[in-house]
């Protein structure tokens, strides 16, 4: 069993403001591995693996009213399904120039950038990370991305990093005890 994370006060202040959590997919929601499998009708299809603890954390976000979304440079039906099953409001795929997509999302949701968090692992994510109220990176991110992060998760991408960020948000917003109570804990 690991020790509980002690969050610095300035990080808790940032996290308390977040109403929308956006994230990259490959290297954040997935471990970055891409699998090409034979398709039933011939050819190949692409898939990825997703972490179940990240999945439950996304369900909690939906439950407490924290909106979520994906901005990914790749396009994949597996990502579409992950976004659908996690009740994500936003899904943008196929463009590695992500900052204009953030601007489009901000215009749509009406939130200031200070109320948006982002989880990224590579240099394509850094422009967004520099623009939002809370920037997070999995522990195995590229050096430039780690340098842009307000919070580096204990977990690697695809192995619970979204859960780490969601626990930070829920604790900073005094919603964690509500989640624990769902399961008779606390």
Q: Which domains are assigned to the chain? A: 9-182 (3.40.50.1000)
DSSP letter string, 26-63: BTTTB-S--EEEE-TTSSEEEE----HHHHHHHHHHHH
Distance of CA 95 to the CA centre of its chain: 17
Beta strand 35-38 with 44-47: parallel, antiparallel or unpaired?
antiparallel
Tens of pLDDT, residue by residue, the chain (186 residues) = 566 789 999 999 999 999 999 999 999 999 988 888 898 888 888 889 999 999 999 999 999 999 999 999 999 999 999 999 999 999 999 999 999 999 999 999 999 999 999 999 999 999 999 999 999 999 999 999 999 999 999 999 999 999 999 999 999 999 999 999 999 997
């Amino acid at each position: 069993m690991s020790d509980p994370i002690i969050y610095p006060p300035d990080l808790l202040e940032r996290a308390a403001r977040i109403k929308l959590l956006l994230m990259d997919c490959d290297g954040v929601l997935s471990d970055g591995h891409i699998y090409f499998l034979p398709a039933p009708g011939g050819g190949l299809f692409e898939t990825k693996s997703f972490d179940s603890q990240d999945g439950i954390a996304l369900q909690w976000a939906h439950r407490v009213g924290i909106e979520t979304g994906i901005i990914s440079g790749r396009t994949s039906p597996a990502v579409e399904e992950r976004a659908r099953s996690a009740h994500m409001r936003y899904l943008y795929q196929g463009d590695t120039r992500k900052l204009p997509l953030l601007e489009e999302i901000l215009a749509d949701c009406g939130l200031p950038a200070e109320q948006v968090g982002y989880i990224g692992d590579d240099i394509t994510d850094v422009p967004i990370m520099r623009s939002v109220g809370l920037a997070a990176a999995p522990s195995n991110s590229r050096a430039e991305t780690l340098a842009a992060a307000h919070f580096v998760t204990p977990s690697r991408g695809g192995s619970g990093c979204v859960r780490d960020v969601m626990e930070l948000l829920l604790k900073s917003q005094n919603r964690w005890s509500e989640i624990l109570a769902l399961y008779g804990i606390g």
